[in-house]
């Protein structure tokens, strides 16, 4: 089978990584890179790909079958519109957009033009996340009752050299990073009904938040909390604990905990705590620990291979536009709650 012809639009932090993965995968070929910043020509040169400063020039000259849209959040919709008009399938980096209106524009034009949309919530392709989902769904924790998530790390100062990362809308960990936690929570535990968030910009004093505490109620009645900060050197983040991204310092810690009526699970160590004898339960009885083996692998690469199969028509997108819009609605609900200092009911789009 011929490799799927793919291009990357937006060759910044994550776009360069996509280009590297595409160039190194036999399922696809990198036919071009586009970025409005001419300095990104160096990324194209690195992978021997043609470089364009205008999206339409790339689409018309190289005729890719699919593109990875890795521009800033506020530009996703306008880039996808150009792709859809040229009948090119898209893998859009998360979040799908920076507003519900923009996400609806994306879903509508994709439907009208018949292009496929995969949204880059790449952690859903992680064997670790798939294992937690299996354990929770299997009932081995009993009835799920609570989830605790921690995403705490230190972003280096140069990360904020780009202005959009310091400003709202578009920047800030609620939309850029916690959308991952929110999406995982939905994937494993079900839909969210209400969020209440308090935030602080105390560490950097930027317009965007640097630290948050989020309280979440799921439709099932499960309660969840997320503590997040991008201003602290800490070992408790998905990136540090999962070892999935070589760019990060790795630790052997858990960053999430899942609690059920029969047991509790630490992630990503997959240590499952429960009573050895179920008829002897209660705080005075010993808990025993077992570990769920998982072979770790790169979810970004798995996502790319899935995108190739989506473009070929062999699979339906694991995360389509509608699904991603539900995760966006929660992240935007968090931002609204931060601003109003009140709980926000999530309207499922
Ligand atoms: N999946 C992940 O783990 C992950 C990680 C980082 C970023 N992201 C997402 O990827 C996207 C990009 O983030 P980033 O940190 O790489 O941003 P970035 O600022 O480093 O790169 C974005 C690039 O897009 C270019 N660009 C802007 N508008 C454009 C347009 N209309 N056409 C072509 N190029 C354009 C910019 O010049 C820049 O080079 C965001 O949506 C972000 O949320 C996802």
E-strand stretches of 10-88: 28-34, 51-52, 66-69
- pLDDT at position 241: 97
Residue 159 sits in the same domain as residue 231: yes
Task: Kindly give, in sequence order, each residue whose CB lies less than 8 Å from that of residue 18, ignoring residues fewer than 6 positions away.
Answer: 8, 68, 70, 300, 304
> In which domain, by residue range, is 128 found?
124-296+329-345
Give the residue from 115, 132, 157 where a domain finishes: 115
Residues 160-176 have a mean pLDDT of 88
Residues 49-78 have a mean pLDDT of 97
| CATH code at position 166 | 3.30.360.10
Q: Which residues line ligand 1 (CB under 6 A)?
A: 9-15, 34-37, 40, 55, 70-73, 75, 79, 93-94, 120, 122, 162, 176
- pLDDT at position 130: 97
- pLDDT at position 1: 85
Please report, rounded to a whole number, the percentage of residues in the chain having pLDDT higher than 90. Answer: 90
Side-chain half-sphere exposure of 161, counting CA atoms within 13 A: 6
Residue 74 sits in the same domain as residue 111: yes
Q: What is the pTM of this model?
A: 0.95
Q: Specify if 93 maps to a domain.
A: yes
Distance CA 267, CA 253 (A): 8
Residue 290 sits in the same domain as residue 141: yes
Confidence class for position 281, pLDDT limits 50, 70, 90: confident
Select from 279, 240, 238, 247 the least CA-distant residue to 262. Answer: 279
Distance CA 151, CA 149 (A): 7
94 Cα–ligand 1 center, Å:
10
Rg of the Cα atoms in the chain: 21
Q: Specify if 309 maps to a domain.
A: no
- pLDDT at position 320: 98
pLDDT at 192 over 80: yes
- Helix then strand then coil, in percent of the chain rounded to 5, is 40, 25, 35
Q: Specify if 224 maps to a domain.
A: yes
- pLDDT at position 109: 98
Q: Specify if 91 maps to a domain.
A: yes
**For 84-130, what is each residue's pLDDT tens digit?**
999 999 999 999 998 999 999 999 999 999 999 999 999 999 999 99
Nearest-atom number in ligand 1 for the CA of 10 is 24
CB-neighbour burial class of residue 251 (10 A; exposed 0-12, middle 13-18, buried 19+): middle
Residue 110 sits in the same domain as residue 138: no
Pairing between β-strand 4-9 and β-strand 66-69 as defined by DSSP bridges: parallel
Give the residue from 62, 97, 115 where a domain finishes: 115
Residues 207-228 have a mean pLDDT of 97
Confidence class for position 277, pLDDT limits 50, 70, 90: confident
Q: Specify if 313 maps to a domain.
A: no
Q: Specify if 304 maps to a domain.
A: no
- pLDDT at position 275: 93
Q: What are phi and psi of 263, to 5 degrees?
A: 180, 180
Confidence class for position 18, pLDDT limits 50, 70, 90: very high
Nearest-atom number in ligand 1 for the CA of 165 is 19
Give the residue from 57, 82, 115 where a domain finishes: 115
Residues 326-333 have a mean pLDDT of 96
Residues 120-147 have a mean pLDDT of 97
Residues 64-79 have a mean pLDDT of 96
38 Cα–ligand 1 center, Å:
15
Residue 281 sits in the same domain as residue 138: yes
Distance CA 278, CA 287 (A): 10
Residue 229 sits in the same domain as residue 99: no
Residues 189-210 have a mean pLDDT of 97
Task: Kindly give, in sequence order, each residue whose CB lies less than 8 Å from that of residue 99, ignoring residues fewer than 6 positions away.
Answer: 169, 332
Please report, rounded to a whole number, the percentage of residues in the chain having pLDDT higher than 70. Answer: 100
| CATH code at position 24 | 3.40.50.720
5 Cα–ligand 1 center, Å:
21
Q: What are phi and psi of 114, to 5 degrees?
A: 75, 30
Q: Specify if 233 maps to a domain.
A: yes
User: What total number of domains does the chain contain?
Assistant: 2
- pLDDT at position 278: 67
Distance CA 251, CA 8 (A): 31
Nearest-atom number in ligand 1 for the CA of 92 is 41
Q: How far are the Cα atoms of 17, 90, 113, 211, 234 from residue 157, in angstroms, in the given order?
A: 21, 32, 42, 16, 16
Report the run of H or E that residue 201 belongs to, with start and end. Answer: none
Q: Specify if 316 maps to a domain.
A: no
Residue 70 sits in the same domain as residue 181: no
Write down the mean pLDDT value for the chain: 96
């Amino acid at each position: 089978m011929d490799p799927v012809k793919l291009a990357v639009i937006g060759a910044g932090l994550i776009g360069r990584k996509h280009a590297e993965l595409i160039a190194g995968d036999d399922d696809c070929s990198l036919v071009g890179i586009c970025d409005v910043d001419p300095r990104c020509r160096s990324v194209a040169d690195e992978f021997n790909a043609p470089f364009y400063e205008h999206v339409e020039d790339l689409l018309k000259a190289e005729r890719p079958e699919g593109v990875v849209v890795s521009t800033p959040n506020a530009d996703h919709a306008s880039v996808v519109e150009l792709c859809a008009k040229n009948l090119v399938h898209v893998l859009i980096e998360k979040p799908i957009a920076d507003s519900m209106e923009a996400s609806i524009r994306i879903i509508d034009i994709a439907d009208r033009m018949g292009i496929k949309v995969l949204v880059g919530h790449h952690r859903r392709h992680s064997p670790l996340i798939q294992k937690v989902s299996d354990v929770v769904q299997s009932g081995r924790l009993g009835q799920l009752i609570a989830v605790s998530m921690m995403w705490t790390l230190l972003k280096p100062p140069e990360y904020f050299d780009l202005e959009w990362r310091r400003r709202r809308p578009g920047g800030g960990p609620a939309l850029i990073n916690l959308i991952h936690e929110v999406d995982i929570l939905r994937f494993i535990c079900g839909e969210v009904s209400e969020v209440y968030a308090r935030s602080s910009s105390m560490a950097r004093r930027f317009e965007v938040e640097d630290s948050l505490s989020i309280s979440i109620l799921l439709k099932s009645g499960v309660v969840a909390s997320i503590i997040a900060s991008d201003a602290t050197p800490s070992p408790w983040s998905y990136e540090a604990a999962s070892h999935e991204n070589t760019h990060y310092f790795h630790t052997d810690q858990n960053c999430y905990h899942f609690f059920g009526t029969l047991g509790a699970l630490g992630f990503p160590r997959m240590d499952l705590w429960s009573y050895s004898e179920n008829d002897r339960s209660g705080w005075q009885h010993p808990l025993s620990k077992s570990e769920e083996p998982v072979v770790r692998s790169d979810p970004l690469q798995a996502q790319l291979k899935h995108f190739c199969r989506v473009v070929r028509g062999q699979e339906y997108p694991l995360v389509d536009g509608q699904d991603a819009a539900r995760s966006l609605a929660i992240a935007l609900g968090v931002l609204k709650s931060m601003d109003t200092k009140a709980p926000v009911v999530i309207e499922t789009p």
